Structure 1
């Protein structure tokens, strides 16, 4: 159980928001970059379901997109530059399904950043 808690602490700290792509690169269309690492196994966390939400005017959360991390634990296409307007966002990582696929009993069902 303790190692799963440690994983989640590192997992929450390893979500990156980046607009550092060169203007003409393929990633320049995608201003949000997510990298998920499994610090317990020392490797990327593939196939983790990730949901992107934006806070609405009434304080509720609107689901904008959902995808899974690739084999490198990365997501590049959660939103486009045009859709990524000023506001408050959160990312929800479905850690429950990740741990279940590894045959482990999850301590947390998800992590929000």
Structure 2
């Protein structure tokens, strides 16, 4: 099985592939998980419930706080109502962010 990264750089910014667990006991960004099909995603747990975008907002807030980014530079671009999501980081120091993601 080929191991893939849970992120990729695009013209729009840095896409981070997530597997989000809402309604968790704590907010936490875990490590990279490999799925059976070889795809990778970053494990994210948020306390917010999956209702009216609350969990998505919590994911954005958690990433902004953890990686010292502005919330306005982050957006969920795919998977708004699914556990598998793609978070787009539109601006920031990508080298620092990539190192931080690799260290998780």
* Bin of the TM-score, shorter chain as denominator length: 0.3 to 0.5
TM-score computed with the length of structure 1 as normaliser: 0.32
